[in-house]
Amino acid sequence: MLSENIKKLVQYGIDCGLTPECERIYTQNLLLDCFREDELEECDVPAGDIVLEDVLRELLDEAVSRGIIEDSIVYRDLFDTRLMNCLTPRPVQVIDRFNEEYKKSPTAATEYFYELSKNSDYIRTYRVKKDLKWTTETDYGTLDITVNLSKPEKDPKAIAAAKNAKQSAYPKCQLCMENEGYAGRVNHPARENHRIIPITINDSDWGFQYSPYVYYNEHCIVFNGQHTPMKIEKATFIKLFDFIKLFPHYFLGSNADLPIVGGSILSHDHFQGGHYAFAMERAEIIKSFTVPGYEDVKAGIVKWPLSVIRLQCADEKRIIDLADHILGKWRGYTDEAAFVFAETDGEPHNTITPIARKRGDLYELDLALRNNITTDEHPLGVYHPHEKLHHIKKENIGLIEVMGLAVLPSRLKDELAQLGEAMVAGRDLRADEVLEKHADWVDEFLPKYDSITADNVDEILRQEVGHVFCEVLEDAGVFKCNDEGMAAFERFVATL
């Protein structure tokens, strides 16, 4: 059985272009060594499509039975990554092929690299497919909703092992260059099948890769070659547009550089991008304005729950200069009537989440104004999901959410299923310790519907979750989408 599955895995690599035919025997021998086996038995590989997930599962079961690994998702992931590296081209081969494809077009290059990242199982597509996804229509456009199920939950044994494991500063974080080819450990994922494309932006060395969790099409990460903290500054805008000039079919954005409104990894300078049009990109400008000295740059307030300024110009350098001007003004801006404070007790609060793209012949930059002030009433942040919405979304609102894609916690899969059953049965939600947190929400939206049945409850819950996410984004907006908020937004614009 082992020999048959090794041959199947090698055939998979050849079929999808990871492994050349001339390396069949070489690759088989690498895999044999992983299992501490000396011989490959003669056997035929059945004709037909080879399902990677099935072959890997059988190989992992074999590794468990031989005592090579423990039967845990953490150890299985470490080992199957080692197996897939036997099939995956060396970094220089990937880089050379990428550069050859780039000569055809930037699109050809990214399509090649994206397919390789999936075929090599760096992007575990069979897990990504488990994510729940739907859309919800709102006053701001069509929002994307996802319940993230592709990150496996660690079992208690692996959690304990990670806690007791020797602490290491190598790699310094999961975004460092040193991850490429790293075998991993119980407290750091394996990256042996990971490949990075080196690029130059703002005259410095950066890496281009895909996210293993791909929340949207061709979800890429662009990261600094050095382990240096996130910082929103003029150089940020230069880097974004340097990348857009290399890959004009992609967008690229940055998380903000302050806690609460920033991303999950503030310690390593990085951006996220991809080949996808979010709702924010499709949103229209509801009020245009001109900044003195930048009359050649189109500027306007976007119809979006967060407070967004959009800049457009054929010359990206003019956008960069104006964006830096706006950033400087926003960093120091206070409007007590709108509860906007540049700083309190020496702690800065204002920053920006920028997103760059090319639209036709024009370069475009969206600047989402962010503020991370906290109060006794809102200890997690005034411009953060408020407590009444925490039953759906409590986590920080980062770049992806800012653009209109909800990344919701995996617990909601089971909770929404249980909630639907309870609603159809007419049970008391407050008597259920898991569902009671959703009770007030259900009481709020229930009157909108004539009847709740087994046939419609799932769709009703999905749409209502989407509306909650819309409220989450409105909470994150510094200037609210009403007359008072627009007046406050215009007061800031008048200072530019």
Q: What is the pLDDT of residue 158?
A: 54
Q: What is the pLDDT of residue 167?
A: 66
- Beta strand pairing status for 132-138 and 141-147? antiparallel
**pLDDT beyond 60 at 155:** no
**pLDDT beyond 90 at 48:** no
Mean pLDDT computed over 46-51 = 82
| Phi, psi for residue 139 in degrees, rounded to 5 | -65, -15
Model confidence at 169, pLDDT cuts 50, 70, 90, reads: confident
Give the tens place of pLDDT for each residue, 97-126: 999 999 999 999 999 999 999 999 999 999
- Between residues 266 and 298, the one the model is more confident about: 298
Contact (Cβ atoms closer than 8 angstroms) between residue 4 and residue 45: yes
Q: What is the pLDDT of residue 388?
A: 95
The order of strands in the sheet holding 298-302 is 197-201, 204-210, 220-224, 270-274, 251-253, 350-359, 362-371, 308-313, 298-302, 285-289
Q: Two tokens at 211?
A: 């996210």
Mean pLDDT computed over 8-36 = 96
Q: What is the pLDDT of residue 154?
A: 53
Give the tens place of pLDDT for each residue, 387-401: 999 999 998 899 999
Comparing C-alpha atoms, which of 154, 4, 2 is closest to residue 66? 2
Give the tens place of pLDDT for each residue, 344-390: 999 999 999 999 999 999 999 999 999 999 999 999 999 999 999 99
Residue 76 and residue 325: Cα distance in Å, rounded?
51
Mean pLDDT computed over 459-474 = 98
Q: Is 20 helix (H, G, I), strand (E, B) or coil?
A: coil
Q: What is the pLDDT of residue 50?
A: 92
Whole-model pTM: value is 0.93
Contact (Cβ atoms closer than 8 angstroms) between residue 356 and residue 240: yes
